[in-house]
Amino acid sequence: MVSHFLGRYRLDQYRLGRGGMGEVWGADDIVLARRVAIKFVLLPDAELHQRFAREAKALSSLAHPGVPALYDFGTDNGSHYMIMQFIEGNGLHDVIAEHAPLSIGWVASIGAQIATVLEAAHEQDILHRDLKPSNLMLCRDGSIRVLDFGLAFMHDADMTTLTQTGQQLGTAAYMSPEQVEGKRGTVHADIYALGCVLYEAATGHPLFTGPNDHSVKTQHITTSPMPAGRHRPDIPRGLDELLMAMVEKDPADRPASVREVYERLTPYLSGTEPLGDMTDHLASPLLLYARALSRTTITGPSMSATKSGEVRDDFSQGGARRARREAQTLIRESRYSEATSMLEDALARTPDAPGLREQLAEAYMAAGDYYRAAQGYRELAASSEPGQAFHYRLQEATCHAHLGDTDLALHLMTALVADVPAEDDPQALELRRQIGELELSARFLDRARRTLAALLSDLERIYGADHAATERVRELLTST
């Protein structure tokens, strides 16, 4: 490899990586004084060169912070090249090797971030086709970048040609059954690969292992995977069920879209402690931007006018207050469906009216619609200050407990305890008692004993042996 390329890029001494489709080099752009990555792609014939060029144009429009920007694309001496944004970070394969099993929060964060990238790609009919830990980069701010869309350029019509040339289409440990069998790929193949990646991050074990690639590929088609909970008893049931759904043999049995995967991961987005020197606790500008954007709600056109300017349905803040009062009356009369419908309508008309979202979540909870209540409290927590967010997050956990998802409820409560600055804070002490009671009710007796014994020791130290709170926990511990 020459040390300079196109007269402006000074290549590093050693390449960053090499695969079946080409190789990647780091380089300095001496004109703009920036680091770039240059991928040289070797393709077998002119027809595939044309298809590669067409797909590269599509990829250039994939503007997403989780994908390196494509700066340039062209042909030089018979091979295609792409010049891309250089990403600093650690490959997820290294993160897994050093820190797996990752915390539930990290598994959810990694999966949710990747899902948003895949959704942006799928909206443009781009499939990744080769999602694996070595194609995923964890940056120091905790963000994930999805690299190497090389196989995304290849349509299914290209597969026979490439196979005949000996190119490896995909990586055995992360290939969906239909990909192994050479069938037409869909978004469900990317969902399967993401399931394999998250399974490995959550357990520290690949979904399947074997003495060679053929053995692993055969297992993707014929062998039922071991539930993640067998490797890791503390994994919440809902997360385990999602991982198993993502790696179903039949694509129709997997989640319908990566948006569904994202939604099912969001309840577990907490507890992302630093991963050694691979991450930094200081928020980057990108994360500050994302935090601001997450609290920005874009509503539809004003409800007070049509496109032609005709005035319609002027629902003022006063109308929202009346709706709240009437809904409260309906709730007292146990007319929950009427109350929630009234509040939903008022929220659609005045999305920024104070208290409407909270009252609607409370109405769902009173009606026993714990699923929608949990969603409501999660959204409220995301847009609230820390003190108020604590209450909403606890309410969300309570909803999941009512739904019977004890593992998820305990995960959320435990994350809340970790967020309380002082261990002798009354909120933290009360929450620990609730965790112990929930573990008792779920018959997690060993866990409950540990939780309550530690809490009892702290209460005796803080309040004394005869305090009512101390006595209550002592009675609970005795009952175990």
39 annotated as belonging to a binding site for a ligand = yes
Identify the pLDDT of residue 1.
56
In this predicted structure, what is the pLDDT of residue 420?
A: 78
DSSP string, 247-270: T-SSGGGS-S-HHHHHHHHGGG--
Q: Which amino acid is at 162?
A: L
- β-pair type (70-76, 22-29): unpaired
**What is the structure's pLDDT at 178?**
94
Active site includes 141? no
Tokens 């004993």 correspond to 449
Q: One digit per residue, pLDDT tens: the chain, 480 residues?
A: 557 899 999 999 999 887 656 789 999 999 999 999 998 877 666 666 666 676 677 678 788 999 998 899 888 887 788 899 999 999 999 999 999 999 998 999 999 999 999 999 999 888 888 899 999 999 999 999 998 876 665 554 454 444 444 444 578 999 999 999 988 889 999 999 999 999 999 999 999 999 999 999 999 999 999 999 999 888 888 899 999 999 999 999 999 999 999 989 988 887 678 898 898 867 688 877 877 776 665 544 443 333 434 333 445 667 788 888 888 888 877 788 888 888 988 888 888 888 889 999 999 988 888 888 999 999 999 888 877 888 899 999 999 988 888 889 999 999 998 887 776 788 888 899 999 999 988 888 999 999 999 999 999 999 899 888 899 899 889 887
Residue 90 is which amino acid? N
Give the largest Cα separation in the chain, rounded: 85
- CB neighbourhood size of 292 (10 A): 9
Ordered domains of the chain (ranges, CATH) = 4-85 (3.30.200.20), 90-280 (1.10.510.10), 420-480 (1.25.40)
- Residues in contact with 299: Cβ distance below 8 Å, sequence separation at least 6, in sequence order: 351
Q: Which tokens is 463 given?
A: 């309040």
**Cα–Cα distances in angstroms (integers) from residue 378 to residues 22, 108, 393, 480, in the given order:** 44, 15, 6, 33
Q: Which of 72, 97, 77 is nearest to 9 (CA)?
A: 72
Give dist(CA 243, CA 196) in Å, integer. 8
Active-site entry in 12, 94, 130, 250: 130
